[in-house]
Amino acid sequence: MASPYWDEKQAERYRAFRFELAERTLAGRVLAVAGGSGGLGAATVWLLAREGARLVVGYRANRARAEALRRAVAEQFGQTLSLVEGDISLPAVRRAFLDAAVALGGPLAAAVILAGEPARVKWEALDAAALESSLRANYVAPILLAKELGSAMEQSSAGGSIVLLASMQAVAAFESSLNYAAPKAALAQAARILARQWKRVRVNVVAPGATVAGMAEPSVSAGKYDPHIASGAIARFGRPEDIARAVRFFLEPDNYTTGQVLVVDGGLTLRR
């Protein structure tokens, strides 16, 4: 007996090499990008704006950088970013993302959550306050935002997609990375649990490697990751565009992936 889920007309199309590969699937959709003014976020915003998405872009305090990105996107693509200022650990700031999406004509179709902190603390200074501070910035606040935006998308018939930013350090053990990497590992596990819990909202994680923009710039430019190029483990450092493309993959409305962690590190964790 044939499967009740089988679509014979679709199978016939594929036998005739007629495939459905829609382009610019994000055009006109309302997307939120928390931490969108940062090194990796700005490239993501740039790519999504080029695709024609309508964007709510969040930042914590650096208004000058967010305004500069807004001007650059307006000049390049004729699009106005809707900016949300403030710390996403505050309920009112998280609420502002949903309000801004509604003001753009919503519903919110997807959210990218890049907000995070390098949480660099010397071993001798690693105390409860340092651990809790990183946990709040790299786990509690992003997960609360994912919970609230995801719950709203789950209630909408169109569903949605959430992408969280972890790090290669969340999946491989690097020396001195405890304070930053452990909350990022928790974030990745929380994403899998949310992906299982929600039926209409896909949740995935992008885990960047050593990337030349954003919070890794000081350590990459100082040579911390040079040995991995010298040894041939990676051919080059990561670029913000590498991350933007990985994020876009998960955001596409017809994407078939959920609960996954995509490590975008050029092979560093595999070959080091």
Ligand X SMILES: NC(=O)c1ccc[n+]([C@@H]2O[C@H](COP(=O)([O-])OP(=O)(O)OC[C@H]3O[C@@H](n4cnc5c(N)ncnc54)[C@H](OP(=O)(O)O)[C@@H]3O)[C@@H](O)[C@H]2O)c1
The verdict on 215 binding ligand X (CB under 6 A) reads yes
> Which one of 88, 163, 188, 244 is in contact with ligand X (CB under 6 A)?
88
Cis check for the bond before 253: say yes or no (omega within 30 of 0).
Answer: no
Binding part of the chain for ligand X, among 7-15, 32-40, 191-199, 250-258 by CB under 6 A, reads 32-40
Contact window for ligand X (CB under 6 A) among 36-44, 101-109, 122-130, 249-257: 36-44
Minimum gap (Å) between residue 261 Cβ and ligand X:
12
The correct pick among 107, 150, 183, 208 for binding ligand X (CB under 6 A) is 208
For ligand X, the binding residue among 159, 183, 214, 266 (CB under 6 A) is 214
| Shortest distance (Å) from residue 4 CB to ligand X | 43
Q: Closest approach of Cβ 166 to ligand X, in Å? A: 7
**Any contact of residue 48 with ligand X (CB under 6 A)?**
no
Closer residue to ligand X in complex, CB, 37/161:
37
Among the candidate windows 8-16, 58-66, 155-163, 193-201, which touches ligand X by CB under 6 A? 58-66
Q: CB-hemisphere CA count at 13 Å for 101?
A: 23
Subset of 133-162 contacting ligand X (CB under 6 A): 137, 141
C-alpha distance from residue 37 to each of 14, 56, 161, 232 (Å): 42, 11, 20, 32
